[in-house]
Amino acid sequence: MNRMTFRSLIAVPVLFLSLSVPSIASADGITWTLSGVTFDDGGTASGTFVYDALANTVGLVNIVTTAGVGLGAFPGATYTSVNPGFVPPTSLEIAFVTNPSLLDFTGTPALDLQFLTDLTNSGGTISLIGAGQGGGEVTCADAGCSAAGSVYRLINAGEVTSPAVPVPEPSAFLLLGLGVVVLVGITKR
């Protein structure tokens, strides 16, 4: 077998495979937007954060809660980071804080979002767990912001949304790869 034929036998399958395998949907995480989030005292929450399901990391946090109504209502806050202490982020729960560099969280607000299903890198709409089942905004009662003694306002309703991330059609890449193989075969004849 001559060198040219041997190289072609290796190059064609490599080219075919590289063209027919779709790329990964999103490797850097996607932006999730809070939608319709309301608390039991009438306050609301809105904003965005980026979650990367592959690395389990959260970044670019920009969430604002508004003041509630009535005696003991929460004043509202702006959240810019993930809580470095009491709840590590997961695809089912993320806790946010206003200032992650504090050594003592006593009296500071924290926002705990719990999701009905896992956050992914594919996007979609995911409901928040609410109506007293979990999650909400809290005023931390101690340095570590533990749940004991903390004052909560609970989430009544809401969800997080992100546009669905399109995945390339494997059939289009497969057809392109087959076309290249046919062309190589025709030129060899």
What pLDDT is attached to residue 175? 63
Beta bridge partners of 162: 124
How far is residue 3's CA from residue 159's CA, in Å, rounded to a whole number? Answer: 61
Angle at 26 between CA 129 and CA 51, to 5 degrees: 35
pLDDT digits (tens, 9 = 90+) for 165-186: 766 555 666 666 767 777 677 7
> Given this model, what pLDDT does residue 22 score?
47
Q: Is 51 helix (H, G, I), strand (E, B) or coil?
A: strand
Name, in order, each residue with C-beta under 8 angstroms of 135's C-beta and a sequence gap of 6 or more. 93, 112, 113, 114, 128, 129, 154, 155
Q: Indicate if the pLDDT at residue 49 is higher than 60.
A: yes
Residue pointed to by tokens 């570590």: 144
Closest CA to 105 of 76, 147, 72, 134: 147
Whole-number Å distance between alpha carbons of 135 and 129? 7
Strand partners, 128: 115
Average pLDDT, the chain: 81
Name all domains of the chain by residue range, CATH numbers in brackets: 30-162 (2.40.128)
**What's the whole-number mean pLDDT along residues 143-152?**
77
What does residue 18 show for φ and ψ, rounded to 5 degrees? -65, -30
Q: What stretches of 80-166 adopt beta strand conformation (E)?
A: 81-82, 93-97, 109-114, 124-127, 136-139, 151-162
Q: How confident is the model at residue 50 (pLDDT cuts 50, 70, 90)?
A: very high
- Over residues 73-95, the mean pLDDT reads 87
Instruction: State mean pLDDT over 69-89.
Output: 86
- Residue 7's φ and ψ, nearest 5 degrees, are -60, -40
Tens of pLDDT, residues 88-142:
789 999 999 999 888 888 899 999 999 999 999 999 999 999 766 778 998 888 8
